[in-house]
Amino acid sequence: MLQVQNLTRRFGEHTAVDDVTFSVPSGKMTGFVGANGAGKTTTMRMIMGVLTAHAGKVLLDGRSVTADDRATFGYMPEERGLYPKQPIIDQLVYLGQLHRMSQGDARSRAQELLERFQLGDRRKDKLESLSLGNQQRVQIAASLLHRPSVLILDEPFSGLDPVAVDSMVELLREHTAQGVPVLFSSHQLDLVDRLCDNLVILQKGRLVTSGSGDELRAAAPRRHRLTVSPDAGWVREEAGVTVIDVAGRDAVVELDSDDDAQRLLTAAMARGRVHEFSRIRPSLSEIYRGVSQ
Amino acid sequence: MSTITKPRHAGHHPEGAAPSVPGSTQPAWLIVTLREVMVKAKDRGFAISTVVTLVLIVAGVVFNAYMDNRGEDFAVAVTSDAGRSVVALADEDGRADGGNTAFKAEVVESDDAALDQVRSGDVDAALLQDKDGLWTLTGKEEVSPGLSGGLGAALESFVLSTNAAATGISPEELLAGSELEQSLLEGSTENQAVASVAGFAFGFLFYMAAMIFGLQIANSVVEEKQNRVVEILATAIPIRQLLYGKVLGNTILAMVQLALYGGAALLALNLTGTSDLVGGIIPASGWFLVFFLFGFLILAAMWAVLGSLASRPEDLNNGSAPVLALILAALGAGLFATGQLLVVASYVPVVSSVAMPIRMLNTEVALWEPILSLVIALAAAAALIHLGEKIYRRAVMQPGALSLRKAMKLEQ
């Protein structure tokens, strides 16, 4: 498990990351969300040791990460970049070697990853001759090349077409299945919903909330949908009920406790027919929107 | 199909966190060095420019040798026996000591006939004596220096011996004691000529290599910075090793190219038979290689820092002035420095790379002098690489262009 404890980074007067603590469990995908400028990239760069933290630490399996540990991490920086004028395979082998792979191992692994991305026959092409989407795939291959022990990916899905997103997801799932903790940032909330076991939400450098999907949902306000006839307007007058929305026979309400829910249901049945009364299970993106308002 | 053939990390195994991959024994700086060399070696432009330079060097040597050996034939119209004798004397001198300048007299009836022959191009010039005994050499549009020089000297000795005969003294007696012997307190006259040629060659080779490979280092640094590859590299290896690898790789390339050029020049000189002067250059060339290495290391560190401060290759022009000044100073030392100035220059790092080998060609230099100069250069190289590493490490991670002052204040 990768843990971030009290990480803080200032740039001059501005505190970009302020006392942020969260964990990235092994074998889980953790989504890292927040508006632009929330401090996601700064946090990831501190995890990778590219940027020095002014306070706090990064732990791997309970002990401080070392440079040797980080050499086994897979990292995809926010600003993409490899060597544009060099053949793809050459630069992947070079990066693999720098990550302490043997030349032969790096070559066969690079070949294997390129084939997964349908780039096997273009391995000798210069990077700049590829489309941006394909360059992105090479970038992903570069971060996965050395069979990383931890994956830190800054916006890995941006710029990918749906097919590439699927093969990326498949690759990431293979890594989590091996117990690798994966932290990725994204603005695509639908993807976050689909992929994440965990969510970390930053806002203006501070942690808003973090935890597993179940934990976050349990902590989210209890919203219920109620459909009655002839009309749902009466819910406005009920005690202990916060009305979110009422339209004709439908109402969405927020309730503080299960007792309030039972009381509301009883009242509804006393007034007429009840067609639906259900707990709304919020999506992670709704939770994100809820907390970052 | 699973791409993960070796399950490695698992959060629960402590040993899984920092695995070492078997089979990889190369240190990071060596991997970087090899890449720098391979990328450049595979670069077609680099290969072509190297071959072209080699061809130019060999062609230059061959052309020089050809020009030296090429004979000249001059036809001179004369109207008198005296004229014919002067031309014959010039011919004799021109062919003496392995020379191959030939003079041939065309005897004609009159001065006008002689001038007609010049006009028509049948002869190169007319050598005529007027009634007062004054000699004139007349050409059509120009008189080549070889022609006027040869005839002038011949005329002088002809007149001398004629006049001497008239007074009854032999020309030898007349000239006795007039010879001027040349000697130098330090070195020899022959070395002086070699030194000026070698000084130019050393200065120019240093200049070329410092510019080509220096810019190569700076570009390679700025490329990684611009593309942010450096961020990935920094997570894999200490950034210091990246700098070492670049400096070393390009130093190797520069040394190999220098040895190639020098070797080609020496070989061509030998093959064309102009090698009498070469013997003196070889020891100094050996020293030059060593000095070059140290001087280049200093410049390499500077170029790497320049690269890390830039945000695009275009930015390299800004701020490269101090480095260029140093390189030009080294070139200038090779071309112009003499005396005390040269002695001082031979201890200034980078400039000493050219100045000390030249001093060693010119004069006797005690062995401790180049060694001391090398120690100074080495200390400067170590200090600059150390300082360069600090700036590089900070600046290269920082997007955008930076001033040196700002880079020093950066924290990582």
Helix H or strand E segment including A239: none
pLDDT at B398: 78
The answer to whether residues A180 and A123 belong to one domain is yes
Contacts of A104 in chain B (CB under 8 A): 23
Query: What's the domain range around A128?
Result: 2-214
Summarised one tens digit per residue, pLDDT across range A113-172 is 999 888 999 999 999 999 888 898 899 999 999 999 999 999 999 888 888 888 889 989
Q: Which of A1, A146, A147, A169 to mutate to test the interface with B (most CBs of B within 10 A)?
A: A147
A129 to chain B, minimum CA–CA distance in Å? 16
Residue B6 lies in a domain: no
The answer to whether residues A98 and A116 belong to one domain is yes
The answer to whether residues B338 and B236 belong to one domain is yes
pLDDT at B8: 42
Question: What is the rounded CA–CA span in Å between residue B367 and residue B363?
Answer: 12
The partner residue sitting opposite A105, judged by closest CB among B23, B232, B397, is B23
The partner residue sitting opposite B227, judged by closest CB among A1, A81, A116, is A81
Give yes or no for A18 touching B (CB within 8 A).
Answer: no
A-B CB pairs within 8 A amount to: 134
- Contacts with B, A 162-201, CB within 8 Å: 171, 174-175, 178-181
**What is the Cα B173 distance to its own chain's centre?**
48
The count of structural domains within chain B is: 2
The answer to whether residues B51 and B95 belong to one domain is no
Stretch B258-264: mean pLDDT, rounded?
85
Give yes or no for A69 touching B (CB within 8 A).
Answer: yes
The answer to whether residues A143 and A269 belong to one domain is no
Among A226, A224, A198, A223, residue whose Cα is nearest residue A288 = A198
Question: What is the rounded CA–CA span in Å between residue B52 and residue B44?
Answer: 12
- Contacts with B, A 210-269, CB within 8 Å: none
The answer to whether residues A209 and A224 belong to one domain is no
Contacts of A229 (CB under 8 A, 6+ apart): A249, A272, A273, A275
Cross-chain residue pair A1–B22, CB shorter than 8 Å: no
The residue to which tokens 């074998």 are assigned: A27
Q: Residue B278 — very low, low, confident or very high, per pLDDT cuts 50/70/90?
A: low
Stretch A81-103: mean pLDDT, rounded?
91
Question: What is the rounded CA–CA span in Å between residue B393 and residue B230?
Answer: 10
The tokens for A187 are: 């603005």
Residue B377 lies in a domain: yes
Cross-chain residue pair B227–A69, CB shorter than 8 Å: no
Residue B252 lies in a domain: yes
- φ/ψ region of A275 (left if φ > 0, alpha if ψ in -120 to 50, else beta) reads alpha
In order of A34, A214, B275, the CA distances from A202 in angstroms are 5, 19, 76
pLDDT at B2: 42
Question: What is the rounded CA–CA span in Å between residue A46 and residue A53?
Answer: 6
Q: Is the distance from CB of B361 to CB of B280 less than 8 angstroms?
A: yes
pLDDT at B279: 63
pLDDT at B183: 61
- How many residues make up chain A in this entry? 293
Chain mean pLDDT for chain B: 80
The answer to whether residues A194 and A259 belong to one domain is no
Cross-chain residue pair A144–B3, CB shorter than 8 Å: yes
Cross-chain residue pair B20–A100, CB shorter than 8 Å: yes
The partner residue sitting opposite B229, judged by closest CB among A51, A69, A81, is A81
Q: What value of ipTM does the predicted structure carry?
A: 0.82
The answer to whether residues A93 and A194 belong to one domain is yes
Residue B10 has pLDDT above 70, yes or no: no
CATH number of the domain where residue A202 is located: 3.40.50.300
Helix H or strand E segment including B320: none
The residue to which tokens 């692994």 are assigned: A109
The answer to whether residues A71 and A149 belong to one domain is yes
β-partners of residue A273 are A229
The answer to whether residues A272 and A141 belong to one domain is no
Residue A43 has pLDDT above 50, yes or no: yes
Chain mean pLDDT for chain A: 90
CB burial of A127-160 (b: ≥16 within 10 Å; e: otherwise) equals beebeeebbbbbbbbbbbbbbbbbbbbbbbbeeb
The answer to whether residues A59 and A157 belong to one domain is yes
Contacts of B22 in chain A (CB under 8 A): 102
Residue B17 has pLDDT above 50, yes or no: no
**What is the Cα A289 distance to its own chain's centre?**
14
Stretch B62-71: mean pLDDT, rounded?
71
The partner residue sitting opposite A69, judged by closest CB among B17, B399, B412, is B17
Residue B192 has pLDDT above 70, yes or no: no
The answer to whether residues B146 and B206 belong to one domain is no
Query: What's the domain range around B372?
Result: 28-57+189-409
The tokens for A229 are: 């006839």
Summarised one tens digit per residue, pLDDT across range B91-124 is 888 777 666 788 888 888 888 888 888 888 888 8
The answer to whether residues B350 and B240 belong to one domain is yes
The answer to whether residues A230 and A181 belong to one domain is no
CATH number of the domain where residue B125 is located: 3.40.190.10
Last residue of a domain, one of A183, A214, A245: A214
Summarised one tens digit per residue, pLDDT across range A222-271 is 889 999 988 888 888 888 888 888 988 999 998 888 888 899 999 999 98
The answer to whether residues A90 and A180 belong to one domain is yes
Q: Is the distance from CB of B307 to CB of B316 less than 8 angstroms?
A: yes
CATH number of the domain where residue A263 is located: 3.30.70.250
The count of structural domains within chain A is: 2
pLDDT at A28: 93
